[in-house]
Amino acid sequence: MAGGFRVNFIEFLVIFGISGILLSCQEKIMVSGENCDLDSQDMMMYCMPYMQHAGPQRDPDQRCCDTIKRVNMPCVCRDLDKPQPPFPGKRRDMVNWDKALYVTKFCGRPFPPGYNCGGFIAPPQ
């Protein structure tokens, strides 16, 4: 009888451990996804004024540079394929890529040559 209890207890520990690992992974994935959305929102809020088509090219402020240095850029670039209501088209259509290259370089995080960001391929430097 004691042997049967021990096997059940070990099985319980294994199942409990696997469940904990799965829940932990799910939580990390959710947090990662949430951060991706926040990164994209921050880029739109703090850096889009320096990367949009309208207006002259100008140096970004510190808040934009801090955002560029912090965000998950591959994630932000993937999000450029999303629509940006109420504007027609996608987020990438709002970006002046010459200005985006300037801003990211100014902030110390230039796109590497050949990098694909939302369908834009960074040219050789």
Over residues 25-52, the pLDDT tens digits come to: 333 333 444 589 999 999 999 999 999 9
pLDDT value for 100:
97
CB-based contact 68:42 (threshold 8 Å): no
pLDDT at residue 118 greater than cutoff 60: yes
Asked if residue 109 lies in contact with residue 68, where contact means CB atoms within 8 angstroms, the answer is yes
Burial class (CB in 10 A: 0-12, 13-18, 19+), 115: middle
Would you place residue 86 in the very low, low, confident or very high pLDDT band (cuts 50, 70, 90)? confident
Give the pLDDT mean for 11-36. Answer: 44
Type of residue found at 98: D
pLDDT of residue 13: 38
pTM: 0.70
Residue in the block written with tokens 């209890």: 5
Q: Which domains does the chain have, with CATH numbers?
A: 2-121 (1.10.110.10)
- Examine the pLDDT at 24 and tell me if it is beyond 70: no
